[in-house]
Amino acid sequence: MRSMTCRWRYFPPIAAIILTIFIVACGGVGSPMPATITISTPVPTATTQPTTSAPLTSDTGSVATTVPVAPTIQPTPAQEPTPTAKLPELGLSMVFTQFRFSRITNLVQAGNRIFVTEQTGRVLSFPKNTDTSEPTPFLDIRIRVSDSGNEEGLLGFVFDPDYDTNGHFFVYYSASQPRRSVISRFTAIKSGDQSVADSDSELVILQVPQPFSNHNGGQLAFGPDDMLYISLGDGGSSGDPNGNGQNTYTLLGSILRIDVSNLSAQKAYKVPADNPFSGPSSAKGEVWAYGLRNPWRFSFDRQNGDLWAGDVGQNSFEEVNLIEKGGNYGWNILEGNHCYSPKANCDPSGTILPVIEYGASNGCSVIGGHVYRGSAIPELAGTYIYGDYCSGLVRGFQFHAGKPVGDLLLVNSGVKITSFAEDSAGEIYALSQNGRIYLLTSLAR
């Protein structure tokens, strides 16, 4: 987000912008039906080479002095895709047209039900194949959630891997007095053929002080290792004034990895022994990767376990990163592949450069997505789908032999995309600022 002496960049979650989109639904409410769609012809873009030179002198006391050197990935210009099946025309089709949510931040499927989070602090659910006109309340913690800052609120939601047996799920929300990010576990109670969360079952497992209202991160996800991963931004304001991005003594500006199995009021989460900073180091053991500005959305490839994150840039460049254990992703030395502090002659050694970056001509707030593993659009198999809040562009690339292939413009949606979601079948949804849900579809079928 641009802020303070720069200018505020409004990206999800955003309360201040009101967007009205006129959509004509094309059918009933019983099953997903398409709405008006804007399509764009795929065109490739390229990744810019970094500007690097002399060493950077760090601010005394603000940066960890004993940090493992992360592997460096040299950026490679995006290439034309290898000849494969030609991509069909794609679009975003509005689904679940009978519902309109308020400031939607997450969509998660559990069993045959869809769960949607609203930034204000509610979780609502409904059957995936439904003609019901009203969603069912699942959790309401609006009294605990602070959404006064346009990037604050109920930001993350994920079910425990053993939810079917233990009823546990986790949320990430903003709280006030003092301003902080809260990660909590709740328990759902079975009620007939549905479950309803017990709002009194909250077990707070982590609270992180937040110096400013912006750059909260907000993603929760369980990895294939059943560990809980959490994204946190650099603490906000503009330009990382507290130096959190390059400081492993703080949890800010990082993706965390913790073990939340067997939690109780007497037993806190555990730092996994194989975390990069676990053990006697004074660095925070929870940190899995750092040097991130605002990793609003990340996801795991359900096929190979790769961890992909979109990191929102400061003023000039957005980036998509392949997250590695102990990786340093450069902020605020770098913005994308380019020197940020200092503006010239910085030293990017030991940092991992983005797989893809793009500038203001393609948007201003990257929304990390998912690797497509569905069956409805087989031509997209293995393609990482991501987008941008400001431009509404949806793009995709494949990753082969350590290099991005393609980076094609798939859909020019005209929608303020706040998040992407993946259902149990691997199909991809886009969530919008206007409270609607869209399904990525092929127009040829």
Residue spans of the domains in the chain: they are 90-442
Q: CA 382 to CA 277: how far, in whole Å?
A: 31
Give percent of the chain above pLDDT 70: 81
Give residues with Cβ within 8 angstroms of 305, minimum separation 6: 223, 224
The token pair at 45 is: 């873009």
- pLDDT (tens digit per residue) in 94-130: 999 999 999 999 999 999 999 999 999 999 999 998 7
Q: 3.30.1240.10, 3.40.630.30, 2.60.40.1290, 2.120.10.30: which CATH number matches 90-442?
A: 2.120.10.30
Mean pLDDT, residues 183-203? 93
Q: CA 182 to CA 218: how far, in whole Å?
A: 10
Mean pLDDT, residues 300-327? 98
Q: Which of 238, 233, 268 is nearest to 251 (CA)?
A: 233
Give the pLDDT confidence score for residue 191 in this predicted structure.
79
**What 8-state DSSP symbol labels residue 341?**
S
Give the position of tokens 């996994």: 272
Q: CA 181 to CA 219: how far, in whole Å?
A: 12
> Is the model's pLDDT at 38 over the cut of 80?
no
Q: Which of 408, 317, 313, 368 is nearest to 51 (CA)?
A: 317
Give the position of tokens 């409805």: 376
> Is the model's pLDDT at 60 over the cut of 80?
no
